[in-house]
Amino acid sequence: MNAGMYVRDDEDRRVPLPETVRRVVSLVPSLTEAVGVTAPGLLVGATDWCTHPPDLDDHDVTRVRGTKNPDIDTIVGLRPDLVLANAEENKPGELEKLRAAGLAVYVTDIRTVDGALRSLERMLAACGLERPAWIDGARAAWDTLPLPETPRRAVVPIWRKPWMAVGSDTFTGAVLDRLGVENVLGDSPERYPRFDPADLPAHDLVVLPDEPYTFTAEDGPESFAAPSALVSGRLLTWYGPSLLEAARVLPEQLGVTSLRP
């Protein structure tokens, strides 16, 4: 790559860039949506799990398998100026393969709502894009979101067989906290601990997203004594333009709509 400049990603790694970024491959659905909404013509590759924006496939975007097992040869063949990744979603070894092939890889590391918006603004700037209006809109929506009079205490399963849940230091936990919902496993030493539904701290809510495991009304709630809320995994776990909708929809879905001024 003939680098025109360098930027630092969220891991403080020096990332070479051409003078103009024209071709981007995204290895994370949230990052795909962020770029696709802001400048859809930049994307030339995305994972099989990238579902947003809904018109993604109308822009001749090549699918490059999953976040954990990207098709390295296909990505290299797309000749991207920049590959976008995430410290949690993508395996370091796979990203090293891309760097070894001469590609520039920009890694985000997102743990909080405010941190997500700052990180995405820097990432989009690395792509040569100005801060989009949706970032300002999302920031305003979350900064003015009032808390419920009575906080909820929740467990957030993400898998079963074995049961696994959201633990400590996660973006999902940060989203819930901003909504006034305490994650009862938030002090776990693990980010995604295993658990037994019969042996949980006191809670009054079970939050069941539809990804990565597809919980439904018939698959999940029956395992818990507390009431369950089925929510969109995209709104609960994605960062990017989805945060605008999440601020509007999640409070009602989680039963925290009785808000104090």
Helix axis angle for 133-143 and 113-126, nearest 10°, is: 170
- Asked whether residue 222 is assigned to any structural domain, the reply reads yes
Q: What are the tokens at 121?
A: 């603004």
- Asked whether residue 137 is assigned to any structural domain, the reply reads no
Query: Given pLDDT bands bounded at 50, 70 and 90, which one contains residue 256?
Result: confident
| Percent of the chain topping pLDDT 70 | 97
Average pLDDT of the segment spanning 229-244? 96
Domain co-membership, 181 together with 96? no
Quote the pLDDT of residue 156.
98
- Asked whether residue 260 is assigned to any structural domain, the reply reads no
Whether 82 has a pLDDT exceeding 60, the answer reads yes
Whether 96 has a pLDDT exceeding 70, the answer reads yes
Range of the domain at 186: 146-253
Task: Tell me how far apart the alpha carbons of residues 123 and 42 are, in angstroms, rounded to a whole number.
Answer: 13
- Asked whether residue 106 is assigned to any structural domain, the reply reads yes
Of 101, 131, 161, the last residue of a domain is 131
Domains: count for the chain: 2
- The whole-model pTM stands at 0.93
- Asked whether residue 51 is assigned to any structural domain, the reply reads yes
Quote the pLDDT of residue 259.
54
Whether 260 has a pLDDT exceeding 70, the answer reads no
Domain co-membership, 179 together with 123? no
**Distances in whole angstroms, Cα of residue 94 to Cα of each of 17, 63, 100, 105, 189:** 20, 16, 10, 11, 26
In sequence order, which residues have a C-beta less than 8 Å from that of residue 220 and are 6 or more positions away? Answer: 157, 160, 206, 208, 228, 230
Of 131, 163, 190, the last residue of a domain is 131
Domain co-membership, 112 together with 218? no
Average pLDDT over the chain, rounded to an integer: 95
Task: Tell me how far apart the alpha carbons of residues 22 and 258 are, in angstroms, rounded to a whole number.
Answer: 47
Domain co-membership, 87 together with 159? no
- Asked whether residue 50 is assigned to any structural domain, the reply reads yes
| Cβ atoms of residues 59 and 83 within 8 Å | no
- Asked whether residue 139 is assigned to any structural domain, the reply reads no
Rg, Å, the chain Cα set: 19
Quote the pLDDT of residue 146.
85
Q: For residue 167, give the CATH number of its domain.
A: 3.40.50.1980
Domain co-membership, 175 together with 127? no
- Asked whether residue 163 is assigned to any structural domain, the reply reads yes
Sign of CA dihedral 143, 145, 151, 157: negative
Task: Tell me how far apart the alpha carbons of residues 63 and 241 are, in angstroms, rounded to a whole number.
Answer: 21
Domain co-membership, 111 together with 35? yes
Average pLDDT of the segment spanning 227-254? 95
Domain co-membership, 10 together with 127? yes
Average pLDDT of the segment spanning 195-209? 97
Domain co-membership, 115 together with 36? yes
Domain co-membership, 105 together with 222? no
What are 164-188's pLDDT values in tens digits?
Answer: 999 999 999 999 999 999 999 999 9
Quote the pLDDT of residue 151.
85
Whether 11 has a pLDDT exceeding 90, the answer reads yes
Domain co-membership, 214 together with 154? yes
Domain co-membership, 124 together with 194? no
Query: Given pLDDT bands bounded at 50, 70 and 90, which one contains residue 70?
Result: very high
Strands 14-17 and 5-8: antiparallel
Of 131, 154, 182, the last residue of a domain is 131
Query: Given pLDDT bands bounded at 50, 70 and 90, which one contains residue 147?
Result: confident
Domain co-membership, 197 together with 100? no
Q: What are the tokens at 131?
A: 């801060």
